[in-house]
Structure 1
Amino acid sequence: MTLIKNLLDKVGETEQASSQKKSTKAEGYKRPIIFIPGITGSELFSIDEKYVDDFERSTGMISKDKEGFAKRIWIPLVNDVGEINQELNINNELYGLQEGDLRNSRIFDRHTGPASANAVLLNALLLKFPDRPIYQFSYDWRKTNTLTCKKLDSFIKSINHGGKVKVDIVAHSMGGIVSAHYLREHDKRVEKYVSLCTPYEGAPHAYNQMSSGNIFGNFKDIVLEKLFGVEKDVVYAYDGLVELYPTTKMLKAYPYQWVKDKKAFDKLVSKKYKNYEDLITQLHDLNAAEDIKPSKVQKEIKNYLGFTRYEEFLRKAKNYRKYKSFLHNVSLLNRPKSMFIVADGTQTQVSGCYMKDENDKIITRELVTKEGDGLVPLYSACMGYKLDEMPKELRKKFKVFKGTHPGMLMDLRALDSVCKFLKD
């Protein structure tokens, strides 16, 4: 990482020095590039409202000069359980820091998310497009993506010179869901669109893990819950995570299973499988499990969320689909000047199962194959298609790389594809 930083910084200084010679007027009407990160790239800060002006409030962004008043709370910095849960509560107004056009600051010195997850991608954009404004749109990932969409609209209006210039959008993960909402309503304001590893048809792990009170479903959650005392009810309130739940198409293509023979089931799922079909065939041949209809899984989800919240989830999932139907494709699947980067070959939860424990209580578990990037199933990132079943015209829009969900933000092949596509 240090080597990449040094090389990019050195080249970046030369590129930026050259770009400064261009006239302000010429720069002002260059098409901006906006990067919209996923959950792990959107830092959250709390700040006293008296420091927030109307523009910052409307966009959900805090200017650089206010940074000293903002308290970072992505990973809790204190051990007071009550204070932590209050700060992470969904009703709080939290912000991602945004400093405007990134050409005005060195990327590796900026707040760009935990572990600077987006720095390599942003630097690649700066090096390839030194004469174009480049922004990172930060948002509160806990809240509904429809709200984030409205904030994105306000932000784009603030930089498109009264609609005289379109923007290009590059989005990662949940950022692609935000973009899908935005493009449904404001497609004419966007020229080119690129998404990386977006769960358009949801991610089964979001339901499995969140129903257990987790945010990421891994070691970080153990730290958050056990060490810092983040309450499950706090996580339960995050609409942004609910909107990542698997859709009907995902549940049909990769049906949940009811475990009939736990011993045989455990033995079979302990192995690694290239695809879900191989796993299910073996489970069914040994009568270890059987398919559960999507309607029954959705009933369990509805029981967990409650009727009102589940109906809201369905409505918002329909909002960015072609005919506003939960069963139809995402609208932007056929959008011109769009490219979709997906990752494959990493152990990923593509479905789940229900079984009874020793106390006769029903519990959920994950079912994993190598069809995805570790977090997002390939089928979901491809909007309800399997790559070999796609019409040729659609298949051309998809670039497939072997890698991981966060890895695509640093994968040189993926970044090269992004930059080539954005080039006029």
Structure 2
Amino acid sequence: MKNKYTKTIIMFLSLTIFLSLFTNFNLTTKASTVTTKEKDISLILDISNNLPSQSKKEFNTACSNFCKNILSKSPNSKISIITADKTKNILSFTSDAKELNERITSALTSEETDINECLQISNDLFTSNSPSNSDKSIVILNNELSNNTFSSQDKYNSCENYTSSISSYIKNLSSKYEIYSLSYLNNSAKNDNSLLQKSLKNIIPKNYYETNNIKSLSSELNAISKKLTSSPPIIIIPGIMGSRLYKDSDCTVQIWDPVVKLNPSDENSIYNLGKNINISSTLFTKKVVNQVPLSTSEREYGAQNSYKNLVDTICNEFPDREVYFFSYDFRKSNVSAGEQLKDFIDNTLNVSKVDLVCHSMGGIVASNYATLDTSKIDKVITLGTPYEGAPTLINSVLNWSILSEDWNKTDFALGVCGLTKKVKSGFSGVAELYPTRNYFDAVGFSSKFKDGLFSSHISQIDYSKYSEYGKTIFQNIYDSCVAEQEGITLNGSNILSTLNNSYFAIGTGEKTISSLVFKNGNTLDSIDVSSLVYENNGDGTVPKLSSTMIGGLDNVNSNNVRYFSETTHGGLVNSSNPIKWTTDILKQGTSTLGNKTITNGKPYIVMRIDSPTTATIDKNGEILNSDTVSTNFSSYGRLDRIGENGNIKMAAIDEDNNCNVTFHGTDKGKMDYDMSWYDENNNLKEERHFDNIPIEKGTKIFTTTDKSNPTELQIDEDGNGEIDKIVKSDKDKQDEQVLLILNDSDSNNSGGNMTEAIATNTSSLDESKSITNSNINILTCIIIITLIASSMAIAITVINKKKKSN
């Protein structure tokens, strides 16, 4: 029993409701040279003219070597030498080392340099002569202020005013350019003349350098040149549930993904998952470190090792760059994660530029970071990001019955894992993926309302009702989550679409939940999902309209957007083509991989089975089985379980696959079975319905997905291997209910009786936004049957009386 449950729980975790399990395979790649983009550098020289000639010579050598280092390591770079002496200052960028050396020699003979004026010159030069997409940096090289710097004729009253003015100007420019400073402290400076250096050190502490040894100028400038020419670090940001979480700051007790231990007294046991992962619990992530020098056994690959292929490939492709896996607490708001990312970039890495590679919700984290600072984003690559939310997350929160094998063991699963509706609905990271107002307006959602004891109807809801459901599910965090969605939007689209250096990979051609039908309720326990709406253009998790910002990517450079057909959500970080596309973008900002336009998926069938049965769909031995997991994927489609106790099974499969379908009764009840055919553009073409099929524990029903003939249900009522009834849809009688009587000659056994089932067939070419569902009133059926039986009894009585009288 223990092994059985252990196997069940492992399967549950690996196919957890919030993550698509990714197919793992090894990708072997060779290291490649990184193509760097243009770097424009303004070198401001503020050197006192009264320096000894030998010191000036050292300055000249240090500056010349600095320029040579920049140009040799970054051939696309250009430099300008700036002083306040306009007669000696040539205001242009150049990559000619000889010309730069001449400018340096000339600049060192200037008598006075006003750093404020040099900063203004640099700003004007960047604005007029530097490409918009180049990296722009300012390097200030100065020696300590001399005692006679400030005369009565100077326009500044004091050193304090002068340094205050410089400080203010540098603060204004720091959002546009990376600013470095190197101070040569040639005097011991025990007076206010050191204020300039102190001020610069205070403003740019991570980029401030100083030395009192003239011989060290070259090495200090070399350190700056290394920062300027090194390729930016690569930060990989995983999606929701993609980070490992720990209970302690030392990260020894792993909570997600947990170690499978079935001992309730063990704090690390899976029994305690619900308690430990509750939003009220403080959890930790491992320190973010460079992955390149680590062995594969030491690297961070995220929960379930989902990012192993991506991390290893990037590390192999860029051995000379730093690669970080940015784990974050996915339970909390993406606003918080964006702030953490900024702190990591600014204070831990202290770099001028970074490349961001983001999967799924990681793109939302990057979006929140972009609202705080875009100046340090060299490139941002997103793969399968749900910019407008993901309807599947609603189903994941509400469908708390998610244990494999026997769904009667649901209570056991929740007792072990504790991922209840209440726990999941407390995660802001999940709530922020509730589909946005833009998505709602484009797609629409519906709800099933009860008309009475035996009937109900389905109709489209307005946004106020949709928001009401959101507040019911996520309660007091809902409003702040909507505010987060609005906060990362500019001009109707996500903020990343406004950046020239944003790149987007989108999976298409997979069956994806695009909308759903709510089961109406006003509490978290009562609200549920009644039905799912699929499309064939998404990646299996994120629908097309969400990943494309509902047309927002139409305004992005077409070379920055690529579609990968028949690539799953997880495949975007595990399949060879999307990963190769990612490394190409990191190298040179372009790639020939992927499609420039979306390729529509295949025509498909949607099946809905509401019954106490398990469902098996078999295509040449490849099986979708509702017993195994809450969501099951195959090469030809998917199968989902929804509703209370998972009684409702839904499948979306390719139409060109004639599959064998089997239903196996698990309890006594009735089965409603619907089949809907859609074309490649998601237009409804035809429907067939079977209502009120009697089910007993052990009943087996066999059918196929063949559209060319009437759908036939072969019913083995008692599971003894013999067909007792056959129910057919009448393909030729559109919109007409057909009552079928099964005679002895139509059955494989001699006990055929009139079936209680009614089969209906409907053909519809129009997709209606208002869905209606008319159930057969069971009470009416009972009354009719009772009347027929009574009439027959009366007739028999009359006949018997006549016989007796004769």
User: Structure 2 length as normaliser, TM-score?
Assistant: 0.41
Contact 1:334 1:394 in 2 (8 A): no
Query: Partner of 1:33 in structure 2?
Result: 234
Matched ranges for 1:176-215 at <5 A: 176-213=363-400
Give the RMSD, CA atoms, in angstroms: 3.4
Query: Partner of 1:57 in structure 2?
Result: none
Structure 1 residue 401 and structure 2 residue 570: aligned? no
Q: For residue 290 of structure 1, report the CA deviation from its aligned partner.
A: 4.0
* Whole-Å separation in 2 of the counterparts to 1:41 and 1:192: 22
Change (3 A) 1:140 1:218: farther
Using the TM superposition, name which of 28-37 and 172-181 deviates more: 28-37
* Whole-Å separation in 1 of the counterparts to 2:403 and 2:431: 18
Give deviations 1:100-158, integer Å, cap 9, x for gaps.
11112023543312332111111221222221111110011111111111111111113
Structure 1 residue 71 and structure 2 residue 254: aligned? yes
Structure 1 residue 318 and structure 2 residue 490: aligned? no
Change (3 A) 1:394 1:241: same
Query: Partner of 2:514 in structure 1?
Result: 350
* Whole-Å separation in 1 of the counterparts to 2:340 and 2:392: 27
Q: Which has the higher contact order (CA 8 A, sep 6+)?
A: 1
**Paired residues, what number?**
356
The runs of 5 or more residues in structure 2 that have no matched partner are 1-22, 34-72, 74-221, 265-269, 452-456, 589-806
Contact 2:234 2:322 in 1 (8 A): yes
* Whole-Å separation in 2 of the counterparts to 1:77 and 1:199: 31
Secondary structure class of the residue paired with 1:157 = helix
Q: For residue 225 of structure 1, report the CA deviation from its aligned partner.
A: 2.5
Secondary structure class of the residue paired with 2:439 = helix
Structure 1 residue 417 and structure 2 residue 581: aligned? yes
Structure with higher Rg: it is 2
Q: For residue 236 of structure 1, report the CA deviation from its aligned partner.
A: 2.0
* Whole-Å separation in 1 of the counterparts to 2:498 and 2:384: 17
Structure with greater proportional strand content: 2
Q: Of residues 266, 274, 298 in structure 2, which corresponds to 1:85? A: 274
Q: Of residues 291, 306, 316 in structure 2, which corresponds to 1:117? A: 306
Change (3 A) 1:76 1:142: farther
Q: For residue 172 of structure 1, report the CA deviation from its aligned partner.
A: 0.3
Query: Partner of 2:139 in structure 1?
Result: none
Q: For residue 370 of structure 1, report the CA deviation from its aligned partner.
A: 1.3
Matched ranges for 1:274-313 at <5 A: 290-306=459-475, 308-313=476-481
Matched ranges for 1:15-34 at <5 A: 29-34=230-235
Read off the aligned partner of 2:254 and give its amino acid letter.
Answer: K
Q: For residue 303 of structure 1, report the CA deviation from its aligned partner.
A: 3.1
Secondary structure class of the residue paired with 2:564 = strand
* Whole-Å separation in 2 of the counterparts to 1:239 and 1:156: 24
Contact 2:272 2:416 in 1 (8 A): no
Secondary structure class of the residue paired with 2:338 = helix
Read off the aligned partner of 1:71 and give its amino acid letter.
Answer: Q
Q: For residue 394 of structure 1, report the CA deviation from its aligned partner.
A: 4.3
Matched ranges for 1:223-302 at <5 A: 225=414, 227-259=416-448, 290-302=459-471
Query: Partner of 1:284 in structure 2?
Result: none
Change (3 A) 1:99 1:202: closer
Q: For residue 32 of structure 1, report the CA deviation from its aligned partner.
A: 0.5
Q: For residue 247 of structure 1, report the CA deviation from its aligned partner.
A: 0.4
Contact 2:391 2:515 in 1 (8 A): yes
* Whole-Å separation in 2 of the counterparts to 1:95 and 1:128: 30
Secondary structure class of the residue paired with 1:423 = helix
Matched ranges for 1:106-185 at <5 A: 106-161=295-350, 163=351, 165-185=352-372
Query: Partner of 2:26 in structure 1?
Result: 4
Query: Partner of 2:541 in structure 1?
Result: 375
User: Structure 1 length as normaliser, TM-score?
Assistant: 0.74
* Whole-Å separation in 1 of the counterparts to 2:444 and 2:386: 17
* Whole-Å separation in 1 of the counterparts to 2:398 and 2:306: 27
Give deviations 1:173-208, integer Å, cap 9, x for gaps.
111110000012111111101000011100112123
Contact 1:204 1:351 in 2 (8 A): yes
Read off the aligned partner of 2:470 and give its amino acid letter.
Answer: I
Structure with greater proportional helix content: 1
Using the TM superposition, name which of 95-104 and 402-411 deviates more: 95-104
Q: For residue 413 of structure 1, report the CA deviation from its aligned partner.
A: 1.1
Query: Partner of 2:608 in structure 1?
Result: none
* Whole-Å separation in 2 of the counterparts to 1:149 and 1:178: 5
* Whole-Å separation in 2 of the counterparts to 1:138 and 1:86: 21
* Whole-Å separation in 2 of the counterparts to 1:422 and 1:335: 16
* Whole-Å separation in 2 of the counterparts to 1:261 and 1:401: 42
Read off the aligned partner of 1:194 and give its amino acid letter.
Answer: I
Read off the aligned partner of 1:385 and give its amino acid letter.
Answer: G
Query: Partner of 1:274 in structure 2?
Result: none
Secondary structure class of the residue paired with 1:42 = coil
Change (3 A) 1:419 1:218: farther
